[in-house]
C-alpha cells in the first residue's frame, strides 16, 4: 500500500476510492453543483438517481475533468489525492473513466484505431510498454465478443451511424479494455432495449472487482435490477439529498422524485 493510500484509509482503515466534499461547480454565473458530498469506498458500486436537470451529468463531467466548469468550492479526493486541479488526461491516466450519456461520433477514425490509441496512451502514462498489434487484437477480440461488438463495427468510424445500443456497448468495451479504477457510467441504460440492457449490464457486472469502484448514474430504476448497487444516492438541485440501500431505488420508482425536488429547492 502506498503512502497516499494509507492516508486515504484514515483511522478506521477503510480506503475511499472517491471522496467528494462540499463540491460547488458553475457554468458561467450559473451554479449547478451546490455542495455535493459523496464517498465511494474501493470495490463498491454506487448508484446516483435523480430527476432530469438535477446535476448528474455535470457531476460526471466535473469528476472526469472536462473543460467549461468552474469549481468554486470543495474538494475531490481520488485515492486520497486532491484532483480538482488535475487535467482530464491525467485523471484518465490515473484510472478515472467516464462512459458518456451521449457518446461522441468521430468520423475518419476507425473504432479499432481509437481503442488502440486510447489503450496505449494510458499504458504510456503508467510507464508501461505499448501493446504489440497481436496482443492488442487478442484483447479486443475477447472483450468485443462478450459485448456483442462485431468485427464490422470495430472497422467502422467511431460511433458513426451506430445505434444507441451499439454506442453504449462500445463505451463498455472501452471501459473493459482500459480497466479503470473508477468507472462512471452516465445513463448507460438510456436508449437500450431489453436485450442490449442485459448485454451492457453483464459487461459492467463482469468488471466489478475489489480494487475497482463504479458510479452508475441513472434516471430509472430498471438498470439497477441488473447492476445491483451497494448504495443508492438521490441527487436533487445539485446536492446528494439522501442515501440508502438498493431498496431506495424501488421506493423512488414507486413514489417518483417530487418529495426531493421540493425539499432540495427549499
Binding site for Mg ion (CB under 5 A): 56-57
- Minimal distance, residue 58 CB to ligand ADP, in Å: 3
CB of 51 vs ligand ADP, minimal distance in Å: 7
Residue 233 Cα distances to 28, 170, 203, angstroms: 27, 27, 23
Kindly tell me which of 19 and 58 has the beta carbon lying closer to ligand ADP: 58
Q: Identify what 54 binds: Mg ion, ligand ADP, none; CB under 5 to 8 Å per kind.
A: ligand ADP
Say if residues 186 and 235 touch (Cβ distance below 8 Å): no
Instruction: Give me the least distance between CB of 183 and ligand ADP, in Å please.
Output: 17
CA distance 9 to 11: 7
Cα separation, 55 vs 235, in Å, equals: 7
Residue 52 binding result from ligand ADP, Mg ion, none, given CB thresholds of 5 to 8 Å by partner type: ligand ADP
Query: Which one, 39 or 189, has the nearer CB to Mg ion?
Result: 189
Smallest gap from Cβ 216 to Mg ion, in A, equals 13
119-101-261 Cα angle (round to 5): 140
Q: Which of ligand ADP, Mg ion, none does 53 bind, CB closer than 5 to 8 A by kind?
A: ligand ADP
Nearest distance from residue 36's CB to Mg ion, in Å?
Answer: 15
Task: Output DSSP code: residue 75.
Answer: E
With CB under 5 to 8 Å by kind, the binding choice for 188 among ligand ADP, Mg ion, none is none
Please identify, using beta-carbon distances, which residue of 56 and 242 lies nearer to Mg ion: 56
- For ligand ADP, the closer CB: 59 or 143: 59
Q: At what angle do helices 133-146 and 111-125 cross, to 10 degrees?
A: 110
Name the minimum Å distance from CB 187 to Mg ion: 6
Cβ contacts of 15 within 8 Å, gap of 6 or more: 5, 8, 9, 41, 42, 79, 80
CA distances to 4, 167, 191, 203 from 157, in Å = 40, 12, 20, 22
Beta carbon nearer to ligand ADP, 30 or 247: 30
Binding site for ligand ADP (CB under 6 A): 27, 30, 32, 50, 52-58
CA 118 to chain centre: 16
Nearer to Mg ion, 56 or 233 (CB): 56
Amino acid at each position: 500500500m502506498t503512502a497516499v493510500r494509507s492516508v486515504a484509509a484514515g483511522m478506521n482503515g477503510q480506503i475511499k476510492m472517491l471522496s467528494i466534499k462540499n463540491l460547488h461547480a458553475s457554468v458561467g454565473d450559473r451554479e449547478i453543483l451546490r455542495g455535493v458530498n459523496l464517498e465511494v469506498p474501493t470495490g463498491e458500486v454506487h448508484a446516483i438517481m435523480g430527476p432530469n436537470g438535477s446535476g448528474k451529468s455535470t457531476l460526471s463531467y466535473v469528476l472526469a475533468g472536462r473543460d467549461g466548469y468552474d469549481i468554486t468550492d470543495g474538494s475531490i479526493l481520488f485515492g486520497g489525492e486532491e484532483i480538482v486541479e488535475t487535467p482530464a488526461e491525467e485523471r484518465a491516466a490515473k484510472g478515472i473513466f467516464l462512459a458518456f450519456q451521449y457518446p461522441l461520433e468521430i468520423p475518419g477514425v476507425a473504432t479499432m484505431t481509437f481503442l488502440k490509441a486510447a489503450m496505449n496512451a494510458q499504458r504510456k502514462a503508467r510507464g508501461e510498454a505499448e501493446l504489440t498489434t497481436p496482443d492488442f487484437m487478442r484483447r479486443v477480440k475477447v472483450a468485443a465478443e462478450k459485448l456483442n461488438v462485431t468485427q464490422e463495427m470495430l472497422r467502422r468510424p467511431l460511433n458513426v451511424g451506430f445505434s444507441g445500443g451499439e454506442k453504449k456497448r462500445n463505451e463498455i468495451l472501452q471501459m473493459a479494455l482500459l480497466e479503470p479504477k473508477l468507472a462512471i457510467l452516465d445513463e448507460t441504460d438510456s436508449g437500450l432495449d431489453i436485450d442490449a440492457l442485459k448485454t451492457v449490464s453483464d459487461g459492467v457486472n463482469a468488471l466489478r472487482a475489489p480494487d475497482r469502484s463504479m458510479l452508475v448514474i441513472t434516471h430509472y430504476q430498471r438498470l439497477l435490477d441488473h447492476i445491483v448497487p451497494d448504495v443508492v444516492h438521490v441527487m436533487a438541485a445539485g446536492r446528494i439529498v439522501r442515501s440508502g440501500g438498493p431498496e431506495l431505488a424501488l421506493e423512488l420508482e414507486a413514489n417518483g422524485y417530487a418529495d426531493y425536488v421540493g425539499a432540495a429547492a427549499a
